[in-house]
A and B are shown apart, each in its own frame.
Chain A
């Protein structure tokens, strides 16, 4: 049976990461893209259960035919390798072209006294946003998985701290909860992904791409307990060295009972995520059994 939870860390050991960053300082990323597509991805597809997970996603959730689902599984893994390479290329100092849609929503909230919450997902390449969205008014706190490789955390901290971004690692103790709460009560921005259940098993079941899926309760609970504004932030790869950031305000009735607020906010988030996934189906990178139901065959296209 395939995994229902994400392992939670970037693939490879620290030596590999350092070697990759060093290499990316000197060679064109296209060389690594091609190398990954020809030599690494086929091996990964043979050995890794992500093959079946991605295929079922394309076949049953997106509704592609068998051949197209198989091809898109390969494309999806190639794109995933590219965003990982891009992430390390950023660590190595490479630049990308980034277009921002609806940046005014971000700037408007940044000018306000209150803090706000930014929700992302494991689609596209969220870390690119950290290099692009300038916020002079507020500190940005990114909640990251506490079990991530030390080399990744060190590089993130080195590069992001100069841009006023702080990493809060969600560890097994309570300290990250205090840091999150303090950041929000101090009027800062908290960014987190809202598509993976980590630390707390509490979840909310939502309709997503035609089936039920569990989303973590924490991000929606955190935003509504403080009555804060929320933005969805999805960063999608549009070309070899280009990304587009989609900034979308997520509305909810702050005067409604708490449970209803969480319900409205989670639905708004999931609707926006579904819109982006349908727009960029190959950039879905949750390689675990995401949906609750046994998939039924969607009509072939």
Chain B
């Protein structure tokens, strides 16, 4: 799980162009969308949705799951581990 979390941090950092954020400062449990977290917005969510499709073959079909899945990097990793096709 820790390896997957680190891979996701790296991939999210790259796809969202978060150059100023070091992987050490990227807390796996920090909320992704609140001000105290990374502060991502709707465009970033779309980027991560496409990232999950391309890297892990995951298509998020149920919009209602979105809020829970994208809560933090750890929740994304848990979802990826349970649903990955690649």
On chain A, the residues within 8 Å of B43 by CB distance are: 200, 202, 217-218, 221-222
Q: How big is chain B's contact interface, by range? A: 10 to 19
Q: Which of B42, B61, B70 contacts A182 (CB under 8 A)?
A: B61
**Residues 33 to 61 of chain B near chain A (Cβ within 8 Å):** 41-43, 45-47, 49-50, 53, 59-61
Interface flag for B67 (CB, 8 Å): yes
A146 vs chain B, min Cβ distance (A) = 12
Interface flag for A28 (CB, 8 Å): no
Q: A201-B41, A202-B41 are in contact. Are A180 and B66 (CB under 8 A)?
A: no
Q: Which of B45, B63, B70 contacts A179 (CB under 8 A)?
A: B63
Are B42 and A218 in contact, with the CB atoms below 8 A? yes
Bound Cα distance A200, B33 (Å) = 12
On chain B, the residues within 8 Å of A181 by CB distance are: 46, 49-50, 53, 60
On chain A, the residues within 8 Å of B86 by CB distance are: none
**Residues 237 to 296 of chain A near chain B (Cβ within 8 Å):** 259
Are B41 and A177 in contact, with the CB atoms below 8 A? no
On chain A, the residues within 8 Å of B53 by CB distance are: 181, 185
Bound Cα distance A199, B66 (Å) = 17
Bound Cα distance A178, B17 (Å) = 22
Q: Mark A161-185, 1 if CB is under 8 A from B, else 0.
A: 0000000000001111111111001
On chain B, the residues within 8 Å of A217 by CB distance are: 43
Q: 13 A–B contact pairs at CB < 8 A?
A: A174-B63, A174-B67, A175-B63, A175-B64, A178-B63, A178-B66, A181-B46, A181-B50, A201-B41, A202-B41, A202-B43, A225-B46, A226-B50
Are A182 and B59 in contact, with the CB atoms below 8 A? yes
Bound Cα distance A226, B47 (Å) = 10
Are B47 and A225 in contact, with the CB atoms below 8 A? yes
Q: Mark A52-83, 1 if CB is under 8 A from B, else 0.
A: 00000000000000000000000000000000
A56 vs chain B, min Cβ distance (A) = 30
Bound Cα distance A154, B8 (Å) = 41
Bound Cα distance A221, B62 (Å) = 22
Q: Which 8 A-B pairs have the closest CB atoms?
A: A175-B63, A178-B63, A174-B66, A200-B41, A200-B42, A200-B43, A225-B50, A218-B43
The residue among B43, B45, B60, B70 with the most chain A CB atoms within 10 A of its own CB is B43
A279 vs chain B, min Cβ distance (A) = 31
Q: Which residue of A lies closest to B50 (CB)?
A: A225
Q: A178-B60, A178-B63 are in contact. Are A221 and B41 (CB under 8 A)?
A: no
Q: Which of A174, A179, A185, A259 contacts B42 (CB under 8 A)?
A: A174
Are A178 and B42 in contact, with the CB atoms below 8 A? no
On chain B, the residues within 8 Å of A222 by CB distance are: 43, 46
Bound Cα distance A201, B61 (Å) = 26
Are A173 and B67 in contact, with the CB atoms below 8 A? yes
On chain B, the residues within 8 Å of A175 by CB distance are: 63-64, 66
Q: Which residue of A lies closest to B62 (CB)?
A: A178
A262 vs chain B, min Cβ distance (A) = 11
On chain A, the residues within 8 Å of B50 by CB distance are: 181, 225-226
